[in-house]
Amino acid sequence: MTPTVSRRWIAVLAAVLGLAVIIACQLGPNRYRMEDRLAQRATDALVAAGRPEARVSFAGRDALVVAGSEEQAEQARAVVAGVSGVRTVGTRVDRPAPVPPSAGQLAAEQRAREDEERARKELAERQRASAVHHRLKDLPSLTFHTGGAQLTAESRETLREVADLLTENEGVTIRVEGHTDSRGPAATNLALSRDRAAAVKDALAGYGVAADRLTTAGYGEAHPAVPNDTTGHRAENRRVELNVTSPLG
């Protein structure tokens, strides 16, 4: 190749490169301006459609929508696809990183768990106490030998059942209450009611019930169940009641 021809090819190559540079300088800003316009129109469309949380960017006329969930991304994609000048729309789900709970939140959750557990235990205690209360009321009445605080054999068997019931239901406590009819001196009746309540407590303790689960009270003739006007009513007033003192709710 002659020097003249070589110089011509160099000149042509230089012209082509120069033209490419000029075109690139013109197209670059134009492309950026086009992308900015599309991004603005797409953003405006997302806001108008109630999807302001979605983000959109462009590479030429191709859009990329970023949202926090698949549902949000699909809804935003449909909005951006309807913008004039947009060629394709891709999506990406960008879920936010979970925020670790604060010390205050952890403490509150712990308190809530403790409150729930305490409420569950209290409910169980009330239900257990209620069940014991009803079973006690179904047992035969306690009886004593006339004029004293000695339990009859039948009542000792009944108290054995009571002891078994309390053993099955730990935590339930009862109060033994003695009552008499109105015959005889009030002081004598009061002492007798207390002695009979104590006799029941002693019998239950002898069957293995812890003494701290039993309390006693004697009321004498002060709290009759029915008027002391007949033999049958007076017999009904001569009684020892077993009452649950655990919370019944």
Are both 66 and 155 inside the same structural domain? no
- pLDDT tier at 9, thresholds 50, 70, 90: low
- pLDDT tier at 135, thresholds 50, 70, 90: very high
Question: Would the pTM count as exceeding 0.75?
Answer: no
Query: Is the pLDDT confidence value at 3 over 70?
Result: no
Are both 219 and 167 inside the same structural domain? yes
Q: Which amino acid is at 38?
A: L
- Alpha helices by DSSP H, listed for the chain, are 3-48, 70-81, 103-137, 153-168, 186-206, 231-237
- pLDDT tier at 30, thresholds 50, 70, 90: confident
CATH at 17: 3.30.300
* pLDDT more than 90, % of the chain: 73
Are both 157 and 220 inside the same structural domain? yes
Domain end marker among 50, 68, 93? 93
pLDDT of residue 33: 87
Are both 59 and 151 inside the same structural domain? no
Q: Which residues pair with 67 in a beta bridge?
A: 93
pLDDT of residue 27: 43
Instruction: Report pLDDT digits (tens) over 81-125.
Output: 999 999 999 999 988 778 888 899 989 999 999 999 999 999 989
Mean pLDDT rounded to a whole number for the chain: 88
Residue indicated by tokens 């002391």: 228
| Number of domains the chain contains | 2
Query: Rounded mean pLDDT of 185-209?
Result: 96
Query: Rounded mean pLDDT of 219-247?
Result: 92
pLDDT, greater one: 2 or 213: 213
Does residue 117 form part of some domain?
no
Range of the domain at 63: 3-93
DSSP 90-113: EEEE-PPPPPPPPHHHHHHHHHHH
Query: Is the pLDDT confidence value at 190 over 70?
Result: yes
Beta-carbon contacts of 190 under 8 Å, excluding residues fewer than 6 positions away, are: 180, 218, 219, 220, 221, 222
Are both 146 and 222 inside the same structural domain? yes
Are both 39 and 142 inside the same structural domain? no
